Chains A and B, each alone.
Chain A
Amino acid sequence: MFNRTFFHIGRYFTMLGRVFSKPEKWGVYRKEFFHEIDSLGITSLPIIAIISLFMGAVITIQAAFGFTSPWVPLYAVGFTTRDSVILEFSPTIISLILAGKVGSNIASEIGTMRISEQIDALEIMGVNSRAFLILPKIAACVLINPFLILISMFLGIAGGWLLGTLAGVVTTYQFVYGIQYEFNSFNITYALIKTVVFAFIIASVSAYHGYYTEGGALEVGRSSTKAVVYCSILILVFNFLLTQLLLS
């Protein structure tokens, strides 16, 4: 059990060593990179938008529901929504959702390339297959995820405001006042640092599971499940560590 764990950790870092080596040709890598930005980032926008809007709304309504005491001002609904969305919901929950969507996508794509000998074909051509397949994905995720998370924050808060006012639990004035109340911009920095770390985990860990797939189509499915499970666990662990490190 421990042996297996150390084996995987060792192989993961060896893989990363090869991933971060000089590209054979920047032009080809650049093309792949833009392709990944589109396929891993832009296509995730709709699901992120829907989830953020509704989660923001639910957080707002729950907050309003909880603050029935006359001692708590109604603008507290605004800043509770703001802080929940910025500190935890957008960076962590959305990253977990991306681990499901992007992680399984990466693992199954690379896994399929492995079992259909496409990776061998790359190696035979003299291409560093780890770098060529994985580097553009890591770069794309690390670069695009912060934007996705910023959009999610905006939409989450907007959803809270929209549905909160529609449901009549808070007024626009109170909500906006709450959002601005004692705003600490470091929270956004903290959230984005988390996001970047999570993005790296999502891309590299799922690529690892895809790259070392052995067997057939069945194993590709397994790799992609494993990728999602390990990414999610690692995200939660690093969420804890980073929060300790940055906020305490």
Chain B
Amino acid sequence: MIELKHINKSFNGRHVTQDFSCVFDRGKTNLIIGESGSGKTVLLKCIVGLTQVDSGEVLYDGQDFLRLNPRDKQNLRKQIGMLFQGGALFDSKTVEENITFPLAMFTDMSHEEQKDRAQFCLERVNLAQAGDLYPSELSGGMKKRVAIARAIAPNPRYLFCDEPNSGLDPKTSILIDKLIKDITEEFQMTTIVITHDMNSVMEIGEKVVFICKNQKWWEGSNQTILDTDNKELEDFIYVSKFLKELKNKKMKA
């Protein structure tokens, strides 16, 4: 479980996150949605401590993360898997080496076991053949999937994904969403996923937090999101004319 308390963050006096408090439960896929530039990535980086918050607390299962000393922070981070918006693969390493890297660094797995684990993770993201390629030889979507494989390889307790399915086709998108949901349940991870994609929201949004105007604007789940009467959220969901008409029809019925 991850608990955020009154997180504030501004860049040069410009507020990006204001008084953000929220609880993300274990074993559930927690989604953060919001427009581009609304501060989702910044919030996630505050949660993992890559960006310094101005004020506020981040509790990982009760541990005050931001006030841990560097060593304890490093130890807690070994239980974190994170997918960066840009992938952040190591250019100088092959796909397989990228995935085995955290295993080689922190586990006692043998070389063979690491390779098996990497292959297993690659298969789960539909990239069984890509092990020997370098990141520069991959397409944007493939990079993203390798980055997901790397994030889940050590079986983290906390999984953070920044737009796991941007740049993927709808079919692969759903595959990735399912994967995230499955491993979250199977290994009882605390998972936070940032997305713009309404398909993902409907598919795996057991908890959905909508960020708007630098604040937590709405909180609910995929069960309740379509019936919202929150104006800004409605605007976010029902963007196309087609969807708006659909909603009006549904209201009338």
Residues of A within 8 A of B (CB): 24-25, 27-28, 112-113, 116-118, 120-121, 123-128
Contact = CB atoms under 8 A, between A and B. Distances in A.
B92 to A, nearest CB: 8
For chain B, give the interface size range: 20 to 34
Interface in B165-194: none
A125 B105 contact: yes
Contact of B105 (A25, A120, A124): A25
Contacts of A121: 82, 84, 88, 90
Interface in B76-110: 76-80, 82, 84, 86, 88-91, 101-102, 104-106
Contacts of A25: 104-106
Task: With a 10 A CB-CB cut-off, give which of A113, A117, A121, A128 has the most chain B CB atoms.
Answer: A121
Contact of A120 (B76, B79, B84, B106): B84
The prevalent SS among residues of A at the interface is helix
B50 A118 contact: no
A104 B48 CA distance: 31
A128 to B, nearest CB: 7
Contact of A24 (B48, B50, B91, B106): B106
A57 B74 CA distance: 54
B77 A123 contact: yes
Interface of B: 45, 48, 50, 74-80, 82, 84, 86, 88-91, 101-102, 104-106, 154
Nearest to A18: B70
B84 A117 contact: yes
A161 B43 CA distance: 67
12 contacts: A25-B106, A116-B86, A117-B86, A117-B88, A120-B45, A120-B84, A121-B84, A121-B90, A125-B80, A125-B101, A125-B105, A127-B74
Contacts of A123: 50, 77
Contact of B88 (A24, A27, A118, A128): A118
A127 B86 CA distance: 20
Contacts of B89: 118
B252 to A, nearest CB: 48
Contacts of A124: 48, 50, 77, 80, 82
A53 to B, nearest CB: 32
Given A116-B88, A118-B88, 11 more contacts: A25-B106, A112-B91, A113-B91, A118-B89, A120-B88, A121-B90, A125-B80, A125-B102, A125-B106, A127-B74, A128-B74
Contacts of A127: 74, 105
A120 B104 contact: no
A27 B50 CA distance: 27
A126 B75 contact: yes
A125 B78 contact: yes
Task: With a 10 A CB-CB cut-off, give which of B50, B76, B84, B88 has the most chain A CB atoms.
Answer: B88
Contacts of B154: 125
A125 B48 CA distance: 11
A126 B82 contact: no
Task: With a 10 A CB-CB cut-off, give which of A25, A113, A126 has the most chain B CB atoms.
Answer: A126
A117 B86 CA distance: 8
Contacts of B45: 120
A76 to B, nearest CB: 50
Closest 5 CB pairs of A and B: A126-B78, A126-B77, A117-B88, A121-B88, A124-B82
A22 B132 CA distance: 31
Contacts of A28: 104-105
